Amino acid sequence: MIKQVDLIITPRWIFSAIDSVVLEKTSIVVDNGNILELIPNEIIEQKYAAKASFNLADHLLLPGLINAHTHAAMSLFKGYADDLTLQSWLMDRIWPAEKKYVDEKFVTEGSKLAIAEMIQSGITTFNDMYFYPQQTAEVAVKIGMRANLGMVLLEFPTNYASDPDDYLTKGLAFRDLFREEGLISTSLAPHAPYSVSDESFLKINTYAQELDLKIHVHLHETRTEIEDSLKQYGLTPIQRLDALGVLGPHISAAHCVHLTNTDLDILAKNNMCVIYNPTSNLKLGSGIANIKGMIERDICIAIGTDGSASNNRLDILNELNIALLINKGVNHQADFMNPAQLIKMATLNGAKSIGMEGRLGSLEKGKCADLIAVNMSSLEMKPIYDPLSSLLYSGNRSMVSHVWIGGNMQMKERALINIDVDELLNGLGAWQQKISQI
């Protein structure tokens, strides 16, 4: 008996991210928002009939990319504070601008811009850390984007909250509001060891254990951060948090650029996930992470863009290209890492970093149908001997042609389905004029 399903996609190649094999002559079957089966083309008509089908003869189908560390609403600060060190960028430009302009409207407009760019870049899930998460969640749900949103905590007041308890109270209220929304998950998001006290870290860790939540934190981004910690505590930030007993597999640490062997061993011992942000680390002059040391210790590595204010591109494919080239160069090793490894970092490892590897990150039965198709037919992609290598060494985000999130189409032939691009662009001029006057 032939089963009626929602969607069948028949591409030229499929990379499931389960192993390093690229499948051919295979289709993917989607029903009720989930992957039902990967099936040989020759027998599909014997089993299924679809309400919608796509024959993508020149395309590579992948799991949706996961942006494991970003600050979506900061897209409105894109290009505002370029060519500065992290400390000057943050303290002299970004924090003053946030104090003046960041509110519910800012986050709504900035999140919409970021989500539009991410979908066009093949990103189907983002792990966010920013103020007013309810506004980001509302935008994501309206569009149909998947997001893990952090409940931010700092020791000092901002427009969003007045003190650590206020941050937590507002964050937990937001979590309760969206607990039944399938597109939204949450984490606890203490900003960084230099902006969060021991007492607050202990409190956050207690909440994480009781509520079974991940913790998303900036860690070891700059040498200055580490030098200041050594002066104040006699320990690196990682060693300080380890001594507090708050590290563990529930921690996803963004950046981790400057690590001693002891720090690396602590990350490995605690089974933590590192979120690698190569472009942001380069642009801010923060340095180059020791990815080889992490891989040697079997540390989970996911990929993030950071926010547009420190990257200017919410483009995971670009991050993967840069990561491949940098790490071959710094290690003087042409065979160090390969495209399949990097794509897994941006898919399955990204899902692990937000505790959702059971639902996201690979193309296999039962998982959410978060899928992207990349058109490999253009001149610059030819000839194609290995589609993964061609994608990461020759391709770019403009080749992402189709995006599905939970089986729902979000982009078709580069056209966004649920975002009015002209309306979005028309609203940006006023923000640019205001922010440029700071």
pLDDT tens per residue across all 438 residues of the chain: 899 999 999 999 999 999 999 999 999 999 999 999 999 999 999 999 999 999 999 999 999 999 999 999 999 999 998 998 888 888 899 989 999 999 999 999 999 999 999 999 999 999 999 999 999 999 999 999 999 999 999 999 999 999 999 999 999 999 999 999 999 999 999 999 999 999 999 999 999 999 999 999 999 999 999 999 999 999 999 999 999 999 999 999 999 999 999 999 999 999 999 999 999 999 999 999 999 999 999 999 999 999 999 999 999 999 999 999 999 999 999 999 999 999 999 999 999 999 999 999 999 999 999 999 999 999 999 999 999 999 999 999 999 999 999 999 999 999 999 999 999 999 998 899 889 877
Q: What is the pLDDT of residue 131?
A: 98
Do the beta carbons of residue 325 and residue 337 sit within 8 Å?
no
Cα dihedral 326, 327, 330, 333 in deg (nearest 10) = -120
Both tokens assigned to 199: 């007492």
Q: Do 373 and 60 touch, CB atoms closer than 8 A?
A: yes
Kindly list the distances between the CA atom of residue 204 and the CA atoms of 197, 214, 354, in Å, as whole numbers in the listed order: 11, 10, 16
Nearest to 61 by CA among 94, 34, 27: 27
Question: Residue 2 has what pLDDT?
Answer: 93
DSSP alpha helices (H): ranges in 9-163?
41-47, 86-88, 95-101, 104-120, 133-143
Cβ atoms of 185 and 179 closer than 8 Å: no
pLDDT score, position 86: 81
Locate 296 and state its tokens: 């040697």
Rounded to 10 degrees, what is the CA torsion of 418, 422, 424, 426?
Answer: -160
List, as own/partner pairs, every contact residues 414-422 make where C-beta atoms lie below 8 angstroms and the sequence separation is at least 24, other chains included: 414/120, 416/116, 416/119, 416/120, 417/144, 418/142, 418/143, 418/144, 419/112, 419/115, 419/116, 419/119, 419/143, 421/116
Let me know: does 392 contact 339? Beta carbons within 8 Å.
yes
Query: Containing H/E element for 410?
Result: strand 408-412
Find out whether 350 and 320 touch, Cβ atoms under 8 Å: no
Q: What is the pLDDT of residue 359?
A: 98
Q: Quick one: pLDDT at residue 281?
A: 97
Distance CA 337, CA 341 (A): 6
Query: What is the Cα–Cα distance from 405 to 416, expressed in whole angstroms?
Result: 12
How much is the pLDDT for 85?
Answer: 85
Q: Is 3-63+368-406 assigned to CATH 3.40.50.300?
A: no
* Count of C-beta atoms within a 10 Å radius of residue 407: 20
Please tell me the distance from the alpha carbon of residue 97 to that of residue 89, in angstroms, as a whole number: 11
Q: Where are the domains of the chain?
A: 3-63+368-406, 65-353
Give dist(CA 408, CA 34) in Å, integer.
10
Same fold, 3-63+368-406 and 65-353: no
- Long-range contacts of residues 408-416, Cβ cutoff 8 Å, at least 24 apart: 408/33, 408/144, 410/119, 410/124, 410/143, 410/144, 410/145, 411/119, 411/120, 414/120, 416/116, 416/119, 416/120
pLDDT value of position 84: 87
Query: What is the phi/psi pair of residue 22, to 5°?
Result: -100, 120
65-353 maps to CATH 3.30.450.40: no
Of 333, 349, 410, whose CA–CA distance to 123 is shortest? 410
The Cα–Cα gap between 405 and 350 comes to 16
Alpha-carbon Rg for the chain, nearest whole angstrom, is 21
Look-up of token digits 């597109």: 183
The pLDDT, as a whole number, for residue 90 is 84
